Amino acid sequence: MCVTQCHIAVMKATHPVLCTIVPPHILDKLARADDPALAGPARRTLETDAAQRARRQFAPVLGATPAAPPGDTAARTPHRTVHDAEHLRSLPGRKVRGEGDEPHPDATVNRAYAGLGATFELLLKAFGRDSVDGNGLPLVASVHYGENYGNAFWDGQQMVFGDGDEIFRDFTLPVDVIAHELAHGVTQYTAGLTYFGQSGALNESVSDVFGSLVKQYVDDQSADRADWLIGAGLLTERVTGVALRSLKAPGTAYDDDLLGKDPQPATMDGYVHTSRDNGGVHINSGIPNHAFYLLATALGGKAWERAGQIWYDTLTAGSLRADADFADFARATVAAAHTRFGDGAEREALLKAWSRVGVPTG
C-alpha cells in the first residue's frame, strides 16, 4: 500500500514509507461489503494506513548503513522493546516489555517480543546478520494499535500490530507476519528494491520468503514439511481460506464471498498488469514466491541453509539495481548460487525453478 518506495536503496537516502501485510485489494473488497460490521473496520483501516503514509513523507530522511563485518555471532543479542498503543494511533505508545524483562500478562505483547527475537535469531545464525540493518538495530514494536485495526506494518523504523476484527485475528498470532514486516527492514538496508511494479513485487516476495523461513526455523521444519503459507491462522471462521498467500500454490490461499478469490499468479502466464497496489506488488509477488518454493523443495533439507542463503546473498551483494525486474533478480540469484555453491545441484535447481515460472535467466 505504499505510494512510492517502501525502503532505502543502498546508495540512496529517502523517507521511509508504510509497508502493510494485508493487500489493499482485500481491504478494498471488505470496505464495499453490505455488512457495516465488516465494511466499517476495513474503511477505518484504509484511512489509518493513508494517514500513516502521509506521516512517513515527513519522517527523517534515512540512509543505508554498511553492515558490521562478520564477527562472533554468539556475542550479538537482540535489543527488543514492545509498546502498548492502547488502541490509539499514536506511536510508539506505552512501553510494556524491554529486552530481558519477564513475560508480560498480555499474550499479544509476548508474541510480538518472541517474533522479533525469532527473526533476529534466524538472521544472525543463518546469515550472520546482526539485526535488520546488520548493525544491531533495536527492534521496536507496538501492539493494540487503533480500534479494530485490520493490518500490521513496518513504517521504516518499527513494527505495528492491530488486534484485527471480524475478518482478521490478532496480527501477532502468525510469526511469519512479524518476520515478513521485519524483512522489509532488511531490504530497506540492502538492495533497496523500489516499491513499484516488478521490483516492488520482488520486495514483497523477499518478505514472504523470509517470513516463511522464520516460521520454518521456529518449528524446526524441513522444506517438505512446511505449509508455505503466509498468515495461516490469521483469518477468522467467517472467511473461506487458509492464509493471505501461498508460496506453494499462489492463487489458492482463499476463495471467499467477502474477500474474493486469491489473485496471485504462479507463473508469468498469469502476470497481472494493473496500476493499483503500486503495480500489483502484492499480486505478482506470487511468481518469485513460487520460484523460491520450487528451489527450496527441490534442494530439500532446511530451506534457509541453501535456498535462503542464495536469496540473502542476492539481496546483500550490492549488485542488484533498486528497479530490478524479475529477470534481473533471477540472473542475480544464479550468480549468487555460483559464487556460494559453484555449478552444482543448487544452480541446476535454480535454473529449473525460474524456468517453470517463466522468468528467463539468460
Strand 229-230 relative to strand 62-63, pairing? unpaired
For the record, the C-alpha cell of 49 comes out as: 494506513
For the record, the C-alpha cell of 122 comes out as: 534466524
Facing residues of 229 across strands?
Answer: 246
Q: Which residue in the list 7, 83, 144, 181 is annotated as catalytic?
A: 181
144 is catalytic: no
166 is catalytic: no
Contact (Cβ atoms closer than 8 angstroms) between residue 78 and residue 116: yes
Contact (Cβ atoms closer than 8 angstroms) between residue 217 and residue 126: yes
Strand 80-84 relative to strand 139-143, pairing? parallel
Q: Other C-beta atoms within 10 Å of 128: how many?
A: 16
Residues 6 or more apart whose CB falls under 8 angstroms from that of 161 comprise: 108, 112, 141, 142, 143, 144, 145, 152, 170, 171, 172, 178
Q: Which residue in the list 144, 180, 282, 290 is annotated as catalytic?
A: 282
For the record, the C-alpha cell of 261 comes out as: 478469490
Q: ∠ CA(303), CA(72), CA(213), 5° rounding? A: 15
Q: Which of 254, 231, 225 is nearest to 179 (CA)?
A: 231
SS3 42: helix
Contact (Cβ atoms closer than 8 angstroms) between residue 274 and residue 280: yes
- H/E stretch holding 268: none
d(CA 227, CA 234): 14
Question: For 273, how many CA atoms within 13 A lie in the half-sphere containing its CB?
Answer: 1
d(CA 136, CA 116): 13
Q: Which residues are catalytic?
A: 181, 282
